């Protein structure tokens, strides 16, 4: 008869043998766990003969294409045959802060008028000038100007209008107005050259003359254009000390509104111009 002290050793041996048998059986072998596959968004499915662009490129292409076109002013109430009227055209990207090297190509058309545009290609932030010269046959009508901008196959259009009035019957009076405007312009230039040399305007600056608002008599208006600047001149047709005069300056190729303005309280002499707040729109 075996002693009770040997029984535990026997039970331990049996248990170890059973565990080894179970571990060695095929049913106990564990296969490796499969690697989880992340969920994926289905890519756009192309139709036959269709190319599907990557999403990043599609977003870039949209921002590159989208833009808006603006003409200022949108209405000129008094133009006359054989005298030019200048509209200002600018383009703005739809995406804030976007900047692209490719230029917008500009074209313009105004039935009943001769139209020119300078420059005919711009980038956002630049300004083009559209000069419209009505024909005599357009007198007593309202004509439409259409400007079109195109880039990368995407185009936008904008329109403006201008009323065509009968020409001045007094050609001498028209010339006298232009001469008076030049005299007033020249009263500001020495002061500008001294006080604002950064503008590069002095007595040697060459100007082209253009009539504007021809039927306003109490306060008369005129425009001058240098290579860099548009200067608007207006003056009060009155005796001293009520004969004030005023000018504004617009940088032609990147501003569509006046950026500086100055006023002489009287033309009697001995008075310097003073800065004034420029108006929101150019004089047309």
Cα 235 to Cα 238: distance, rounded to the nearest angstrom: 9
Q: Calculate the average pLDDT of the chain.
A: 83
Cα 147 to Cα 218: distance, rounded to the nearest angstrom: 34
Q: For the segment 123-137, what is each residue's pLDDT rounded down to a tens digit?
A: 999 999 999 999 999
Main-chain dihedrals φ then ψ at residue 242, nearest 5 degrees? -100, 10
Q: What pLDDT is recorded for position 47?
A: 53
With CA atoms as reference, report the closest residue to 163 among 90, 213, 116: 213
* Count of H-run helices and E-run strands, the chain: 3, 15
**Contact at 8 Å (CB) between 68 and 92?**
yes
Q: For the segment 144-181, what is each residue's pLDDT rounded down to a tens digit?
A: 999 999 999 999 999 999 999 998 766 666 788 999 99
So where are the chain's domains?
61-164, 171-275
Cα 89 to Cα 68: distance, rounded to the nearest angstrom: 11
Give CATH superfamily name and number for 61-164: Immunoglobulins (2.60.40.10)
Name the pTM for this structure: 0.75
């Amino acid at each position: 008869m075996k002693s009770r002290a040997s029984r535990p050793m026997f039970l331990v041996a049996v248990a170890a043998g059973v565990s080894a048998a179970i571990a060695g059986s095929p049913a106990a072998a564990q296969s490796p766990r499969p690697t989880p596959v992340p969920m994926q968004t289905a890519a756009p499915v192309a139709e036959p003969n269709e190319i599907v662009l990557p999403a990043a490129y599609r977003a870039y292409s949209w921002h590159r294409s989208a833009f808006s076109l603006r003409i200022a002013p949108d209405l000129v109430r008094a133009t006359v045959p054989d005298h030019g009227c200048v509209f200002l055209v600018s383009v703005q990207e739809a995406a804030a802060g976007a900047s692209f090297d490719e230029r917008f190509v500009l074209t313009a058309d105004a039935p009943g008028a001769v139209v020119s545009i300078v420059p005919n290609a711009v980038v956002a932030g630049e300004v083009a000038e559209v000069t419209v010269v009505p024909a005599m046959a357009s007198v007593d009508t309202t004509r439409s100007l259409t400007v079109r901008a195109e880039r990368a196959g995407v185009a936008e259009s904008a329109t403006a209008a201008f009323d065509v009035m009968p020409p001045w019957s007094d050609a001498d009076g028209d010339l006298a107005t232009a001469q008076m405007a030049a005299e007033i312009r020249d009263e500001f230039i020495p002061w500008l050259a001294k006080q604002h040399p950064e503008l590069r305007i002095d007595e040697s600056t060459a100007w082209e003359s253009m009539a504007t608002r021809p039927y306003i008599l109490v306060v008369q208006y005129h425009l001058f254009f240098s290579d860099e600047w548009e200067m608007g001149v207006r003056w009060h047709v009155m005796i001293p000390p009520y004969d004030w005069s005023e000018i504004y300056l617009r940088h032609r190729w990147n501003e569509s509104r006046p950026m500086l303005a100055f006023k002489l309280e009287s033309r009697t002499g001995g008075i310097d111009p003073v800065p004034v707040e420029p108006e929101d729109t150019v004089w047309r």
